[in-house]
Chains A and B, each alone.
Chain A
Amino acid sequence: MSTANKERLIQIILAVVAFSSLLFLGLITLFLFMEGLPVFRHVGIGAFFTGTDWYPSADPPEFQILPLIVGSLAVTLVASLIAVPLGVLTAAWMTEVAPPLLRRILKPVIELLAALPSVVVGFFGMIVVAPILQNVFDADIGLNLFNAGVMLAFMSVPTICSISEDALYGVPQSLREASLALGATRWETTAGVVIPAAFSGIGTACMLGMSRSIGETMVVLMVAGGAGIIPEWIFDPVRPMPAAIAAEIAEASFRGAHYHALFAIGMVLFLFTLAFNCVAQAISMKKN
């Protein structure tokens, strides 16, 4: 084989391999919809999304996932209310205030926080946080919406913090100097100039953090309480979508109605995370 042909062959092989990521994404989508869509033979689309009865093992079974969707959105909301301020403020401290040495200590801490296995975080929520919620806050059940929200917050802070930090770090130094020269204090500069300038990056960070919260499985499986009801207040137990899938797939009979319903939940979850990621990408592209 001539050298030119060999080079072409190598390039083609590499292109095929590079295509594999797209192929896997396509296969995931295909299988999810293939196994999920048949649920609509058992339950109407309207009832599936807006009904509030999730009784998969009753007779006859009910597959209405509104409580699960609300559960997922509720834990994500609680997590974001904690994680967004915490992550952004930490990032602002790292780029605007911290001396270099402390920044170099905090960076790996944030990365290690991101690396904690989710099952260990869930375990911590069960053993430590749940009793505290029961004893100090007088919650009926320690495993509830709030507990899951707090645990998820700590899992999404690293995402929010590191992406926000990149955005804040990228704000041109001259902007800060101009603000300081006009007599603003360093805090006024941070709040009035630097953070607004990095707003799109921070927005991306928050969307990706929320995407991580809504898709996280083990934490909500272990500490959210597992009740398939629409929560009325913050210490109610919930059953977010990933928890329902993980808890029930083993007992669902293969290609039965329940099995298809769980894949359909997977489909909905997939679309939610895809939406979060697309918004994140749109925000960051708008800037570039």
Chain B
Amino acid sequence: MESQDKSRQGLPDSFGCCSLRALRQGGMFSVLRLAALLNILALLLICAFILYNGLPVISWEFLTAAPRNSMTAGGIWPCIVGTVWLALGALAIAFPLGVASAVYLNEYARRSRFSRYVRLGVNNLAGVPSIIFGLFGMSFFVITCNLGISLLAGILTLAVLTLPVIISTSEEALRQVPVGLREASYALGATRSQTIARVALPAAFPGMLTGAILGLARAAGETAVIMFTAVVFFSPQQADSLLSPVMALPYHMYVLATSGTDIDKTMPLQYGTALVLMALVLGMNLGAIILRDRLQRRR
């Protein structure tokens, strides 16, 4: 990258004061700059809008109380709990599966026909729309496995959704571990599995953690997947088992905004819920970005 920047500095940006070509370059570069700026503006606009309208709503009560008066008052505590359980549960299943898959793909069968098919499967799984995961979760976990609309059905469906994210980031993390480290371990007489468990995995762990956080954030913000597998708009008591339905932030947000009992009255609640959800998801993503940045600088 450095050499690229240097080579640019030495080059003329203009060809005389009134050159048409220089003018055209200036004009086009402004268009590019505008395009880039538009992205920043879009993010800032959405964040500022939600923050400005949501912040006055946030209070201790809003965060820790249950909804009252047919959802027009009170807080969102059950939704926060539900979302945390759903996301953590999904990660608890997808992370071990994803890491094990990545270990196999990167350490055992990097170029075999089998791993080529698995990679193709992972890529295509990553491209499946979330609503399809929702349909699948409903017909497979909810109905065929007889789990009902429940926390567990939601967790399992979300786990399938986050699996590709975990696999590809874990594989990337393992690929970054220098071959020399593994060779040193083999030279000391360690077996392949010992080398993976004691050398490769610990070295790749921070990178895998980044993937885990991204998967967690994805699961927490997802709506279409849990809509008909795990959530209800209102449940009188806190979910007490894996087999009971839960409330969740994204779904709460959706119902309040589109078909709540009294859309105008719940407006502040909508902004507050949007803010909490956005802070949760963007916070986790920002954490993952910072972690990755640190790792890259250490290297």
Contacts and interface: CB of A to CB of B under 8 A. Distances in A.
Contact of B46 (A120, A222, A269): A120
Instruction: Kindly state the interface size class of chain A when it binds its partner.
Output: 35 or more
A17 B39 CA distance: 39
B70 interface: no
**Nearest 7 pairs of A and B residues by beta carbon:** A215-B129, A117-B221, A89-B35, A187-B25, A93-B32, A14-B104, A217-B224
23 contacts: A15-B109, A20-B163, A22-B117, A31-B135, A31-B136, A35-B139, A92-B32, A93-B32, A97-B32, A100-B1, A108-B289, A112-B43, A112-B289, A113-B42, A115-B218, A115-B221, A120-B50, A120-B277, A128-B49, A208-B127, A246-B224, A250-B228, A269-B129
B108 A15 contact: yes
A262 B120 CA distance: 27
A115 B285 contact: yes
Interface stretch (B8-16, B177-185, B236-244): B8-16
B29 A90 contact: no
Contacts, number: 262
Interface in B255-299: 257-258, 270, 274, 277-278, 281-282, 285-286, 289
Contact of A242 (B11, B13, B129): B129
Interface in B99-137: 100-101, 103-105, 108-109, 114-115, 117-118, 120-125, 127-136
A45 interface: no
A205 interface: no
Nearest to B44: A109
A275 to B, nearest CB: 10
B31 interface: yes
A254 B25 CA distance: 61
Interface of A: 3, 6-7, 10-11, 13-15, 17-22, 24-25, 27-28, 31-32, 34-35, 85-86, 89-90, 92-94, 96-100, 106, 108-113, 115-124, 126-128, 154, 157, 161, 173, 176-177, 180, 185-188, 190-191, 208, 211, 214-218, 221-222, 242, 245-246, 249-250, 254, 262-263, 266, 269-270, 273-274, 276-277, 281
B192 A7 contact: yes
A119 B7 contact: no
Nearest to A280: B127
B43 A113 contact: yes
Contact of B282 (A115, A208, A217): A115
Contacts of B57: none
